[in-house]
Structure 1
Amino acid sequence: MKTSDFYYDLPQELIAQTPIEKRDESRLMTLDRATGAVEHHHFYELPDFLNPGDCLILNDSRVLPARLLGQRLPGGGACEVLLLIDKGEQTWECLVRPGRKMRTGAKLSFGDGALTAEVMGELEGGNRLVQFDYEGIFLEVLERLGKMPLPPYIKEELQDRERYQTVYSKVVGSAAAPTAGLHFTPELLEKIAAKGVGIGYVTLHVGLGTFRPVKEENITDHAMHSEYCVISQETADLINRTKAKGGRCVCVGTTSCRTLESWANDDGTMEAKAGWTDIYIYPGYKFKVMDALVTNFHLPESTLIMLVSAFAGREHVLAAYEEAVREKYRFFSFGDAMFLYGEGSGT
C-alpha cells in the first residue's frame, strides 16, 4: 500500500488549537466497522456504547513538561531543548535548536542558571545527548522551568497545562499526551464503572515519533519509532477475565492498543510485561485483543490513521473522515473523538 492511500484533505481551520471548555462535551462519531455506518454523538454519551462485562483500557502516562527554553553560554544566544529519553546519570537524549550551534561541548543555561547543561554527544539523526546539572529533584525543576511539548500544529499557548494531561495520568514520561483520553472526566469514569465495565490501566510513554510523517512511498518501508510500555498483572488479569466471559476489550487511544497488541499471546491472552515496542500496525494486521477503539482524528498519511484503518477498513475510515470534515469536527490532539466498534475485517 502507498502512503498516499491514507491522505485526506483537511482545512486548516478544523485543527483544534485549544481544548474545549468541558472535556466530555467534545463530539463523538461512532463508526460501525462492519458496515461503515456513522452516527454523531457527544463524548459524555460513551457509556451508552459500552456493555456490562466489557473492559476499558486507558494509558496512564503523564506528559513531562519537557520543553526547555534557555541561553547558550557564553554569549546568551537563545536555545531550545526537548527531552526525549532518560539515559540515566542526569543525561537525556534530546532534540535541540539551533542544532548547528549546539555541538558537543556546548554549554546551556535555563532559568537564570537554576538548571545548566552540556551537550555530551551527537547521535545519528541529529538528536543530542545532554547532561544536566541542578540542585534538588529533576522533575521538580522541570515543573518550574519546563513547558508542555505541544504538537507542531498547535500554535496557541496553552493556558492550563493540566488540559494536556488526562485526569487519570500518573506515571511521568511522555513527550506527548495520549490524547484520546483527554475527553474523560472523573464523573464519566465513575458512570462507566457503575455500568459494570472494568477499568484497567497500561503505561506507554508517548514519543515524538508519533508526529513524524511517513516519508516513504510504500508504507512497509517506514521505520517505526520505539516507545516504552508496561502492562501490569492486574490489567492482564482483567483483560483475560473479560475475554473469557465474552466481554469486549475497548482500548482508549492507539497507545493502549499498541501496548496490548505488542504483548498479547497468539490466542489473545495477556501476561504482565514491560519493555520497548516498535509495533507497526497497518491494514492486513490481525488484532489479537482489541475489540473496540476510542480515538481522536489523526493526521493524513500518519501511522495512526494506518492503525485505525487496519481496524475498521481504509475505505470506511476515509469516508468517516470526509464526513467529519463536512460536519466541521475538530481534529487532532485537542479535537473530537471516534468510537470504532463491531465486527470487521479491517481490510
Structure 2
Amino acid sequence: MSLRKEDVYETEDLPEDDQQMIEDEMNESEEIERVHIDVDNAMKRFKGRLLSTENVEIERVHIDVDNAMKRFKGRLLSTENVDFSDSIVRRKRCGYGGGSYVLEVIGPYADETETLEQKFTRLNCEINDLAESLREQKVSEKPDSCVVHEEDLIAMLETLKALQMNKDDITTCVQSEKKDDKTESATRSAENSIMSGRLAVLENRINRLEQMIDGVGYDESMKICKIPIAEAIEDLRMRVQLLHPAHVDGLHSRITQLLSKLQQVEEKKKEKCDSEFEDKVDKLYEMMSRWDVACTGLSSAVKRMYDLRKLHEQAEHFSKKLSQLTGIRSQLAKTMEREEMMLFDFRQQTHAALEKLGADIARLEERINKLNS
C-alpha cells in the first residue's frame, strides 16, 4: 500500500452533469399525463361553439355534428404508448393511432379531383351504412313506412361489384386519358365498364322478376319454381336433348345391362349369405356337442365343490381352535414355571428363617441356663 498516492474509490454512479440530465428526463416522463377523451361528452359540451379569430389564413369549416357522429360511429382514437416528450434520448416517438379504416373524402372546394378508387370506397361505405340503417328501421318500424327498399340497395351493390371487377380497366382508362396516343383504347375500356354496369343492373332486374315469379305470398303447392329462369331453361333443354331416340335406345340398353348385373349380384349375395349361415350353424352344433358331456357331470362337480368348501371351512375353524389351545397351553406352562420359581424361593426363605429361629432358641436356652446356675 502506497502512502504517497491519493485514495481512489470506484463507483457505478455517473458524473454530476449526466446525473442531472437523467433526472430531468425522468421528471419530464413523469410530468406527461395520459388524458382519456370521451368523444360523446366532448361533442355535447362544445356543440355549436366556434373559434373566434380574425386571421384570414384560417379557413372556417362548418361541421355537421349529427352527420359526423353517424359517419364516425364506432371509430376509436388509440392513446396507448403516446409520447410527445422533447427528450435528448434517441427513441421513436409514438402519436395517436386509430383502430378503424381511413376514408378519404375530398370536398367540393378542393383543388384536387376525386379519383375513381376514392369514389368507389366512399360509395361502398355509404351504401353499407344505408343498408345497416334500413335493417335497424325494419326491426323498429313497419316495412310499409320505408321509402328505400333493400332490393335497390342490392342492385347498387352489384353495380359497385361490377365496377370493382373492372377496376383495372378503369385505372388503365384514366392513365390513357392523360396520354394523347391512347384515346381510343380508353374510350373502349370506359364503354366496356358502362356495359358491364348495365349488365349488372339487368341481372338484378332479372333476379327481382324471378323472386316475383317464385310465388311469394302463395302456398307451397301454387309456387311455380324456386330456381332462376336461366337455370330452369337450361335444365329443360338438357332434358329435351335426353329424349332423343338415339339417347333413349342407348339408355335402355344400359339400364337392361345394369338390371342383369344387379340380379347376378343379388344371387351371389344370397348364396354367400346362405353358406355363411350354414357354417355358423355347424360351428354352434359342434360346440354344443362338446359341452354336452361337461354339462352332464356339472351337477356332481358342483356338489363336490360345495362339500369341499364345507370341508375347508371346518378345517379353518379347527385350525383356529387349535391355535387358541396352543396359546392357552403356552400361557399355563409360563404360569407353572412362575409358580415353581416362587415356591422354590419360599422354601429357601422358610429354611433360612427356621435355621435363624433355631439359633435364637439355642442362645436363649444358654442364657436361661446361665441365669439358673
**Shorter-chain TM-score category?**
under 0.3
Larger radius of gyration: 2
TM-score, normalising length from structure 1? 0.19
Q: Report the TM-score, using the length of structure 2 for normalisation.
A: 0.18
Task: Please identify which structure carries the higher helix content.
Answer: 2
